[in-house]
Amino acid sequence: MKFFVDTAEIDQIAELNDLGMVDGVTTNPSLIKKSGRDILGVTKEICALVSGPVSAEVTATQADDMIAEGRKLGQIADNIAVKVPLTWDGLKACKTLRDEGLMVNVTLCFSANQALLAAKAGASFISPFIGRLDDINLDGMSLIEDIRIIYDNYGFETEILAASIRTVNHVLDSARIGADVITAPPNVIKSLASHPLTEKGLAAFLADIEQTGQKIL
């Protein structure tokens, strides 16, 4: 399973990238706002830092305008994936941009039928939002399961990019189901390393070696 990091914070991307944890990056208008950076400038910087796909989202709502924005974003670097919303216009933009050879990530997916349409429009990635479904007492993981079954039934090559990941269990369940990619905030990726028994065991080992008075260096 590939790990994309869901942020526009350069230092956090760089830290994870140095560890080989970053297969790609996703951004959205809210993350750009949070970064305080210019969308074109920060996207260019991220594209230079990582070799995998970097999703940059259009801000237009009409297909023609999304296509124009997508073409401009696509000129930033070869690893841009243009992110379009899962609307009818977004699907039109997806088809055109894919036909032109750009990667496209169709975002704001909340149903398996939406994911089916995105695959038929040739999306490179479909982004079902797990956490936002959980927020309204629906089951985000069952959407990932449904999309996995449907894409496998028909051999669609669109990659399932599990998004709106909030917890380590979202990551685990996505891996079990067979999502192709998860995109998660840096803190969620880093917290995958944490386990209370690791911390407890390490504290005991350190206490024991200290009592022996031994040091390696």
Determine the interface stretch with ligand G3P among 63-71, 110-118, 129-137, 170-178 (rule: CB under 6 A).
129-137
Give residue for tokens 């599990």: 162
Question: 83 an active-site residue?
Answer: yes
Identify which of residues 138 and 209 has a Cβ nearer to ligand G3P in the complex. Answer: 138
- Is residue 26 involved in binding ligand G3P (CB under 6 A)? yes
- Is residue 6 involved in binding ligand G3P (CB under 6 A)? yes
| 3 state SS of 184 | strand
E-strand stretches of 64-114: 80-85, 103-109
E-strand stretches of 63-187: 80-85, 103-109, 125-128, 159-162, 181-184
Contacts of 11 (CB under 8 A, 6+ apart): none
- Is residue 114 involved in binding ligand G3P (CB under 6 A)? no
Catalytic-role residue among 34, 44, 72, 83: 83
C-alpha angle 110-61-7 in degrees, rounded to nearest 5: 60
Among 132, 134, 142, 150, binds ligand G3P (CB under 6 A): 132
Give residue for tokens 């350069």: 10
Q: Give dist(CA 68, CA 184) in Å, integer.
A: 28
- Among positions 154-193, residues that touch ligand G3P (CB under 6 A) are 163-164, 166, 183
Site map (CB under 6 A) of ligand G3P, residues 71-110, x = contact: ----------------------------------------
Q: Which residues bind ligand G3P (CB under 6 A)?
A: 6, 26, 28, 127, 129, 131-132, 163-164, 166, 183
